Structure 1
């Protein structure tokens, strides 16, 4: 069964321009994304054509400076656009979030010359990015990464393997964190690597329980040579750049989670109000009514939290704690809501005839990416109770 078109959400948007923008995103989601979502995921098809359309529509660089092809939109608006895309198909919403994450280092830490040269194509020129931090032996402990970049004249030679890379093998550029100094966080530097660089190749995509349309693969760097002009920020600044990007990226994941949860709730409500048992809709039964009420409440709470964190970011205030809280709450809520949606549909919910089983499988990965939810709890606890005394 094709996915149900995303239902309009009563949004509080700051300007008429923002309202028009979200209307555009919703229209694209309903016409171009949702109708093909189920078939595309089942076939493992990555919708590159959709990303081309989003780029042409100015939707791949929403939170960045219009001087370089961005949309000049606050995060408060950008995240609501992400939510709409993820509600239609998570492969698209998450893909936009990852692309935005991959652009962050250059947009925030690059030189003026680097930004002029690269950002217009990255934000509005049809390019698609990937973010390379995790490795086979360093996931949560990202500061222990082993990929090395060795100076050779005016170039750097990068050698190592990155793991769990969304868009691995199909990205046009990779923002790569590599070790240029000693052990630990201070020895890491950021680089902008072209997708067609000699010596860069990707392994076969991972076989996953969900998100089958979004390729996730190891990316190997076998003596990849890049100019020092593609180094982003100072030597040794890479880990700080990576953490800065992740704070914003966690908000993207939170918004995507709310989108998936909203899609699951919409499907559950439609089924419960249409399904007759004992002579009346099953939505009349208190057990299901309470379940739907709980699902709706978790979604609204998650949306409110990610928007509150976004407004802190837009105001230039610290938001790391709130970003971790939003990522934690929204993704846990998405897992609960999608699981409950399967329960509402009963046996039908367990079949591929309805999309809720896919939403449940997709929701699981959101508790893992951009830092597991156990890591989010560590981040939050550090803000609340101070550093671990060990």
Structure 2
């Protein structure tokens, strides 16, 4: 649902300028340094992107899903590492607070997350708990009026600059119903953020493990009821999956533009590559898949806004869009040939970046399971 067409059009125009004037020119530097340049971060904050899904009452933009999907189609035309940094603020951490947080918790965390003064981390994955999140082993034991948390979380995006941690820990018995959610200040004694880990792509969105050495937190750190943590986390997956579907469609469009420009400029056999039928076929297939992903993301975003979205449909959108994005990246690199394979080219960088999206927030295999279960009732 788009509440005000003129406001949304102005928002998208501003986002296009942000992408073209600031974010794309900073991509190579961000990749080389594995850190988002401060001027780019400041621009993201100025556009309110850290608070996309946080209500206006808490300082965010409070966008509908359709408005958000439209914005992701534009912002997808630049390195996805940008999105990894800002989206967590209004994603998992904020959404859990909005669903189940107390007024005290919301007042403490949401305004800082919305404006980007705080950077959120979502601490779920562990060495033996990735797709099988219900098997996590980090513990949360009662300690007087509070909790004592012990364990190690892996692959935590934004960990080196965390200002707030949303931590999933086992407070009860085995399985999903024994897991609770905790909003924790990373300055709490006993929290150790390990050095950032090197990654294939998505450089600029730093990832590190976090170790909890018998960390004592107050009772007010528990978000929602005890044992509801994983339920709260999974409740937002439909939104995340549509978010990534729209982002992937935008990335496909960026890659197609890179391929088109190269095909028009590069000459082989006495004429532009664009006149070679094989090159045209690679780009035509890519255009068809990008258009399908765009339409799917927007239609299902509207369905989420009006309450008719089925979980299997959101999973199907994420599955199709991220898998198609991988195919488009491969085709566009093929169009570029050796030039696209060289370190430093935009296509080489994006080729590395987009591979993670088939793993992030539920692998393609998990999406297929969700779709199959929906089909079978």
Cα gap change, 1:125 to 1:207, in 2 (>3 Å):
closer
- 2:153 corresponds to which of 157, 162, 181: 162
Check whether the contact 1:134–1:145 (CA below 8 A) recurs between aligned residues.
yes
Q: CA deviation at 1:96?
A: 2.4
What TM-score comes out, normalization by structure 2 length? 0.94
Of residues 94-103 and 234-243 in structure 1, the stretch that sits farther from structure 2 once superposed is: 94-103
Q: 1:348 aligns with which of 339, 360, 377?
A: 339
Aligned match of 1:89 in 70, 79, 82? 79
- Verify the 8 A CA contact 1:169 1:219 in the aligned structure 2: no
CA separation of 1:53 and 1:156: change in aligned 2, threshold 3 A: farther
Report how far residue 49 of structure 1 moved: 4.6
1:371 matched to which residue of 2? 362
User: What TM-score do the two structures reach when normalised by structure 1?
Assistant: 0.91
Partner of 1:274: 265
Note the C-alpha offset of 1:189: 0.7
Deviations 1:251-284 (A, max 9, x none): 2222222232222111000110121223322111
Matched, 1:66 2:30: no
- Which residue of structure 2 aligns with residue 231 of structure 1? 222
Q: What SS does the aligned partner of 1:169 have?
A: helix
Q: Could you tell me which runs of 5 or more consecutive residues in structure 2 were left unpaired when the two chains were aligned.
A: none
Distance 1:14 1:321 in 2: 29
Contact 1:204 1:217 in 2 (8 A): yes
Alpha-carbon spacing, 1:167–1:49, altered in 2? closer, same or farther (3 Å): farther
2-structure distance, mates of 1:286, 1:307: 32
CA shift in 2, pair 1:323/1:27, >3 Å: same
Could you say which residue in structure 1 is the equivalent of 2:243?
252
Shift in Å, 1:353: 4.4
Structure 2 Cα separation of the partners of residues 273 and 330 of structure 1: 27
The change in CA–CA distance for 1:321 and 1:249 in structure 2 (over 3 A counts) is same
Name structure 1 gaps, 5 residues minimum: 1-11
After superposition, the Cα gap between the structure-2 partners of 1:61 and 1:177, relative to the gap in structure 1 and judged at 3 Å, is: same
Distance 1:78 1:253 in 2: 11
Following superposition, the deviation at residue 317 of structure 1 comes to 3.1
Q: Which residue of 1 aligns with 2:298?
A: 307
CA RMSD of aligned residues (A): 1.8
1:3 aligned residue = none
- 1:226–1:82 distance in 2 versus 1, CA, 3 Å: farther
Quote the residue 1:296 is aligned against: 287
Report matched runs for 1:1-390 at 5 Å: 15-101=5-91, 102-386=93-377
